[in-house]
Amino acid sequence: MIMKRILALIFAFATTLSARAQVQRMVCDETCRTEYQKEEQLQPTAAPGYAVVSPVGFSNVEMIRQAPRLETLDGKTIAVVGVSFMTHITHPEIKRLILKNYPKAKVILLDEIGFSGPYPAPGVKRKQNEEFKAKLQRMGVDAVISGNGGCGLCTPKETGSAITAEYLGIPAVVIAGPGFSDQARYTARNNGVPVMRVAEYPGAFAADSEETLLKNTREILWPQIVKALTAPLTVEEIAAAATVKGDIRDDVFYGTLEEIDDYFKKQNWTDGLPIIPPTFEKVSEYLKYTPYRYDETVAVLPIAHRNTTAWHVAVNAVMSGCKPEYMPILIALTKGLGDGNFRRTLASTHAWSPYCWLNGPVARQLRIDSGQGQINEAANAAIGRFMNLALMNLCGYYVKQDRMGTFGYLMPWCLVEDEAACQRVGWKPYHVRQGFSANESVITLGSTLLWGNNMAPSTTDPVKVMQLLAWDISERAQFALGSGRQFTFRTVMMTEPVAAILAQKYKSPDALERVLITESRRPLKERAFANYYANPGSRKDGGEHSLKQYTAHLGRVEEAAVTRTPAWYDSEATEIKTVPTMQHGMTAFLITGDNARNKVQTMPGGGYASVALELPRNWDELMQELGYASLKNYYLR
């Protein structure tokens, strides 16, 4: 420990790059190496070693001091709130148990007080949260029970009510399933509540019968709820949320490649694949390719609300194997990670996989691929790897903790739109349709529920190709069978030969979208059956009579209409009742991929975030040193 204090003093006086480099070499000597090895209980080795820095930013959220838990629930006003996963069965039973065991208590249910929804980011006010907060105070609530957390999106939503209560000094407990207890705790911690008590339900709420739900509520949830609200917070619980801050450039470990990999895995700083060691010198080299200072904030990123600087972006860039000249792409990508339109779905159990695509001359200059097999090219794959690491280290999303995909996630990938092909076809590229100039470089972030399963039109009739696309779109809805929301975002990738056929009749992607909105419809009966029996939330199971009633209800809500039977349906009826599956502005059409093949691929997913790249003033000079031609050589007229 004495040695580490001496080293810390040395770092504090290292104020110039040359001095800092000298200190770095001192850190890497055998004495310091031995200190690290003692601390990590590693055996000395003759292999080359590296001193590495941390890829994680510091949270901007200060932890609150929580109020003491209640001595008893008797005589207290208790709010039992939440809308997710069978609350219509569990919550009335919780009310009954409270009044049975504590006759002087008062119970307020959801219909009287509402709920918070996801807790807003620091400095942000949400009407629903403010109204819930006001009602908690006005009704004199002494404790809050919120649930049920049974999916990656609903758990933060239900935890929001408990966080709101704790900020007001009201003890709270969240009800969650086994895979979501930690998510509730970390959601609270990311929002400044160091200890969030959780009552864990023993299984999947929607998979249990009403009898089992009631039995588990009485025998398993109830004792946990009482303890959570009345047992004093322990020193150990509070200490687990403590954080230590320092200089973002400080070395955090010294070791061989294998030892560094092991250490980063233990710290949850890597996705499990080998990394490039982020040394001080290597990270510093990357900062030449951005106009940002090393300590300048790029974004404060949810869900951990971490202050992400250019330094942190560069550290993760090194780890992922990206080249230094990719920094403008990675800075813009990092900004996009904080956009709610993009990240809203990332925690879901349905596993929206994030990805991105590039438009503009920088992608062409840096030879980021737009052709056959593009996402497997080294440059594209490295940018995808950066996105994966950034979600963890910069945003605070961790698989099994905050990214709750039931079967896991694909590795993110990077696409590039073929803008030369767009010119040949006569369509404007995506970023121009979004209001950017043609020679502006832009990255767009998106997410998808599906990769692969592409379609190859075998006709040169543009109307038939459009109908095939309409059929594909109506099938590629949110979740399997289209059982989720009626409308979803979609990215439709097509190769140049397909786009050229469509462009004969549809002179722009907007013109194509308009006709697809009309043609991409789904029979109401099909839609209702899927949404009823494969509903992603609470179970329905009401039988055929209830399904018939639900179909009529859904028809009204989703604006069903009697329309011409879609061309691809084998039906003698010329008209059937259908619902629309597309809305204006929710579909991105991209011309990309192998231009020697006729392919279309529809990917339903989440929303988009587009961010323009920022280049340093001496970009051309830097590129010339690396052997690239001037950026203007890659402009398209």
pLDDT at 42 over 60: no
- The dihedral built from the CA positions of residue 397, 583, 416 and 294, taken in this order, carries a sign that is negative
Cβ neighbours of residue 147 under 8 Å, at least 6 residues apart?
82, 84, 85, 87, 90, 91, 158, 174, 175, 176, 199, 201
pLDDT at 37 over 70: no
pLDDT given at position 540? 67
pLDDT at 220 over 60: yes
Give the range among 8-12, 551-555, 608-612 with minimum mean pLDDT: 8-12
Taking CB atoms within 8 Å and a gap of at least 24, the contacts of 250-253 are: 250/11, 250/53, 250/54, 251/24, 251/27, 251/51, 251/52, 251/53, 251/280, 252/52, 252/53, 252/54, 253/36, 253/40, 253/51, 253/52
pLDDT at 32 over 60: no
Q: Tell me the per-residue pLDDT of 353-386, one tens digit each, with 9 for 90 and over.
A: 999 999 999 999 999 999 999 999 999 999 999 9
pLDDT at 244 over 90: no
The ranges assigned to domains in the chain are 1-44, 45-54+249-417+614-634, 77-239, 453-606
Distance CA 317, CA 301 (A): 17
Better pLDDT: 348 or 620: 620
pLDDT given at position 630? 96
Better pLDDT: 467 or 541: 467
Better pLDDT: 559 or 150: 559
Supply the DSSP string of 401-426, one letter for each residue: TTB--SS--PPP-EEE--HHHHHHHT
Q: Which CATH number fits the domain 77-239, given the four candidates 3.40.50, 1.20.1540, 3.40.390, 1.10.287?
A: 3.40.50
pLDDT above 90 as % of the chain: 72
pLDDT at 64 over 50: yes
Q: Tell me the per-residue pLDDT of 420-440, one tens digit each, with 9 for 90 and over.
A: 999 999 999 999 999 999 999
pLDDT at 419 over 60: yes
Q: What is the arithmetic mean of pLDDT over 529-557? A: 84
pLDDT at 542 over 90: no
pLDDT given at position 571? 85
Helix then strand then coil, % of the chain, to nearest 5: 45, 15, 40
Q: Is 228 exposed, middle or buried (0-12, 13-18, 19+ CB in 10 A)?
A: buried
| Residue 605, token pair as written in the block | 């997913």
The conformational region for residue 617 under phi > 0 = left, psi -120 to 50 = alpha, else beta, is alpha
